[in-house]
Chain A
Amino acid sequence: MPAHHPMTSDQGLSADALFTLRRRPTSEKLLDLGFRQLTLALASLVAIVLLAILITVFQGSREAMASFGLRFLVTSAWDPVNEQYGAFVAIYGTLVSSLLSLAIAVPLGVGTAIFITEDLIPRRLRELIGLMVELLAAIPSVVLGLWAIFVMEPAIRPALELLHQLLGWTPFFASTPQGPGMAPAILILVVMVLPIITAISRDALNQVPIELRQGAYGVGTTRWGAIFAVILPAAISSIIGGVMLALGRAMGETMAVTMIIGNSLNFDLSLLAPGNTIASMLANQFGEADGIQVSALMYAALILMLLTFTVNVLAQWVVRRLSLKY
């Protein structure tokens, strides 16, 4: 208390010296403004890059658009000698490989997410599984491709042969599996999109309020009754958004697919035969192409961009519109 007195008296005496109205110097104001404009300029770079990508790809594809038009989407000729190009095989392959891989990956991913969020196993084990799935996402696509060529494809070939023997009468399994093909590409895509679906589903399930679970258990449901009737419906919008992001990723995935799909230019309904996707066609041919082939590849790239753009925007829309408000 005594130590306090001198201070207060001191303040009263020299208030003028302590608090003077300081005008900010022009240099400080300029620095402030300059920093703001700098961050603004660098932020707008995102929009500029996006626009530049669109313009570059569009400009590049104009020649092919003029000569092939929309026929490009439905014809399957890819003939550099006669300069006839159609991307049907690649577009079909992109859609089939990404959709079928999701059909396998969604149950696996959502099931795994439930397994590691719903208190079924000890916490340590849950965290370990979560970590491993996250690390799976970090493995480069090209390494997965290498593994697919030398380990996975030889290992699953007997199973694919069995599939051919049992279901060979349908057009989808009509050809004998002989190395690279659509089926191994689909499986490696499953491995690649699984971490995205698991991670997003896990976050979505973790965000479901604890009261909803408690309410469900309170009226006497079993654990899986609560999961199917309460928890999954509450989280479904984020899960669907995550699935669509994964679809976009699967469509654009390049390296692992290129290495194992066989890069065939001929149309084949059989999943056991070699196929092609837009991304793998780009990876294979872009370096060596010239003339109108570059333009045709740019046209295919434009289609891929539009596909992934649509899927990604839909994904954002789904998350925003369908999300339940608790």
Chain B
Amino acid sequence: MTRSTTQPANNASTDTTLFDRRPLSFDPSLRRNRLNGLFTFISGVFATLAVLPLVLVLVYVLVQGGRLISLRLFTELPPAPGLEGGGFGNAMIGTVLVTLIAALIAIPVGVAGGVYLSEYAGKSWFGQLVSFGNDVLAGVPSIISGVFVYGLIVASRVFFGQSYSAMAGGIALSVLMLPTVIKTTNEGLKLVPNELRLGAYGVGASRYVTITQVVLPAALTPISTGAVLAIARAAGETAPLIFTALFSAFWPEGIFNPIATMSVLIFNFAIMPYPAQNELAWAASFVLVMMILAANLLARWLSRLSKT
């Protein structure tokens, strides 16, 4: 046994000219190993720097906003500039209402669009056009969707002569949600095995029945994950709302009137020179961030559910 292991070593020593033999042990002082360690260290520093903002933002929002949380914040109206106290009850209702309007528009339209792309379009030119248009729409800056709805709805006063309204804000948000919902629906449906469709056709189901009773239920988790993420993103959007839903210091007066939302409240109160307003902005950030993080964790839980 010992002979056989020493034998090749002896052979190797004879042709060192062919192979530059190095010991097979790790030598940390080699240049390549030192460089390796250096790059690992640098990438670790980069990762720390990347995570740092999240930690800092969360800590400040939790500490600055969390200590101000009280019941009156949810039941009172925002104070006039310069006054103390008050809350953001109207903005809470406003955010829920505007996001609901957006979801009621974007989710049905987006799911249907995703169904068309995945089930009917195939590789047709129109399907490719819609898919390309969807990617472009996803890249349109959020402020542009505000400008669009301003030009289309607010300035033209199509809703009963009203200019700024919760409805206009909801429509602006739905423009932003639509590409996400279409994309996640399309991708979710593509993951459904084709055997399910063939099986349904085999027992005589029509295409409509196949899609609504077999394919869509099979893709329910990815679709709802996408919908939850789209809602969470829309709830935090500000830019499309500043000049569509505007702001209101009063309780909501229906969906065809200007309405306060959490995000616009944070924006307005953050840039005011009054500490009371700034504190309300921190407290509203706390509530908004908690809502959005909860929605994101829900979406992650949903997608993990589909994997098991």
Contact = CB atoms under 8 A, between A and B. Distances in A.
Interface stretch (A44-52, A74-82, A160-168): A44-52
Contacts of A40: 116, 120
A139 B53 CA distance: 11
A111 B46 contact: yes
A50 B137 contact: yes
A313 B278 CA distance: 40
Interface stretch (A8-16, A170-178, A207-215, A279-287): A279-287
A196 to B, nearest CB: 12
A93 interface: no
Contacts of A108: 46, 49-50
A144 to B, nearest CB: 7
B43 A254 contact: no
Given A139-B289, A149-B270, A151-B60, A46 B130 contact: yes
A159 to B, nearest CB: 14
Contact of B140 (A45, A121, A252): A252
Interface stretch (A64-72, A83-91, A217-225, A267-275): A217-225
A139 B292 contact: yes
A39 B115 contact: yes
B141 A46 contact: no
Contacts, number: 262
Interface string B119-147: 11100001001101111110111111111
Interface stretch (B8-16, B29-37, B79-87, B217-225): B29-37
Does more than half of chain B's interface fall in helix, strand or loop, or is it mixed? Answer: helix
A167 B278 CA distance: 34
Given A138-B232, A138-B233, A222 B144 contact: no
Interface of A: 22, 24, 28-29, 31-32, 35-36, 38-40, 42-47, 49-50, 52-53, 56-57, 59-60, 107-109, 111-112, 114-116, 120-121, 129, 131-136, 138-147, 149-151, 191, 194, 198, 222-225, 227, 245, 248-249, 251-255, 259, 279, 282-283, 286-287, 297-298, 301, 304-305, 308-309, 311-313, 316
Interface of B: 32-33, 35-36, 39-40, 42-44, 46-47, 49-51, 53-57, 60-61, 64, 108-109, 112-113, 115-117, 119-121, 126, 129-130, 132-137, 139-148, 150-152, 175, 178-179, 182, 204, 206-208, 211-212, 232-233, 235-239, 242-243, 246, 263, 266-267, 270-271, 278, 281-282, 285, 288-289, 292-293, 296, 300
18 contacts: A28-B206, A39-B112, A46-B133, A46-B179, A50-B133, A56-B147, A115-B47, A132-B51, A133-B51, A133-B54, A138-B293, A141-B237, A194-B53, A224-B36, A254-B239, A259-B267, A279-B143, A301-B144
